[in-house]
Structures are given as structure tokens and as C-alpha cells.
């Protein structure tokens, strides 16, 4: 499955919030335990940056789990984000289909109009 960068960032935001809540770690304590700067953690928490593989592994260690376990949680959150975005994507597709139909109908009308005159 292909994940859009917005889906990944929103899932990372939710993952950090859930894991910090579950472990009661402040951003400062998480930064100390993981070796990632507090500023970088803050930027990830705001969706302005993404986690590198190394940072992800460091966070897993700080949260007391394996990177595989943390990735499984992230994947669940990404799938939830995809499911939330599906109606919007369907609406977008409907809009494109409407425009295509209108364009085709307009061409048909133009060709009929030209034949009459």
C-alpha cells in the first residue's frame, strides 16, 4: 500500500501522543532517553518533520519496545488515516468525473450546434 506523506505525518503525531501518554514521558525526558533533540521531537509532534529510521529505532528504545512493535502501532494509525481520507478521495474522483462528463457533453453540444448552421 502507498502512504501519502500527510498520512505518515498525522500517524506519527498520533503515535507520539499515544506513546507519551502511555509511558508518561515528557518531551524533555523522551529527548534524554532517545538521544533525539527536544526540538526535533516537537517538530515531529507538530507534523513539520518526519522520523528517520534511526530516530524511529531510538524512540522505540525510549518507549521500551522494539522498532517492529512501534512500527505495527504506526501502521495501524496510518491505516486509520487512510480510511479517514477515503471519502475525500472519492469526492475528488466524483468531481473529476463530473468535469470529464461536462467536457464531453460540451463537445457533443458544440458538434451538434455546428451541424445545424
Q: Which residues of 89-100 are buried (b: 16+ CB within 10 A; e: fewer)?
A: eeeeeeeeeeee
pTM confidence score: 0.68
Range of the domain at 82: 5-86
Give 38-77 pLDDT, tens digit per residue: 999 999 999 999 999 999 999 999 999 999 999 999 999 9
Residue 102 lies in a domain: no
Question: How many separate domains does the chain show?
Answer: 1
Domain at 18, CATH number: 1.10.260.40
Residue 33 lies in a domain: yes
Residue 109 confidence class, pLDDT cut points 50, 70, 90: low
Total Cβ atoms within 10 A of residue 25: 19
Residue 15 lies in a domain: yes
Mean pLDDT computed over 98-110:
61
Question: Which residue from 41, 48, 42, 35 is spatially nearest to 6, judged by alpha carbons?
Answer: 48
Residue 47 lies in a domain: yes
Residue 101 lies in a domain: no
Amino acid at each position: 500500500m502507498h502512504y501519502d506523506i500527510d498520512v505518515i505525518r498525522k500517524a506519527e503525531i498520533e503515535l507520539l501522543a499515544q506513546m507519551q501518554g502511555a509511558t508518561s514521558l515528557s518531551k524533555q525526558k523522551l529527548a534524554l532517553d532517545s538521544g533525539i533533540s527536544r526540538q526535533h521531537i516537537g517538530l515531529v509532534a507538530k507534523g513539520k518533520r518526519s522520523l528517520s529510521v534511526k530516530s524511529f529505532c531510538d524512540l522505540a528504545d525510549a518507549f521500551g519496545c522494539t522498532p517492529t512493535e512501534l512500527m505495527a502501532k504506526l501502521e495501524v494509525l496510518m491505516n486509520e488515516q487512510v480510511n479517514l481520507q477515503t471519502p475525500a478521495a472519492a469526492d475528488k474522483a466524483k468531481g473529476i468525473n463530473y468535469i470529464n462528463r461536462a467536457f464531453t457533453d460540451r463537445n457533443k453540444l458544440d458538434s451538434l450546434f455546428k451541424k445545424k448552421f
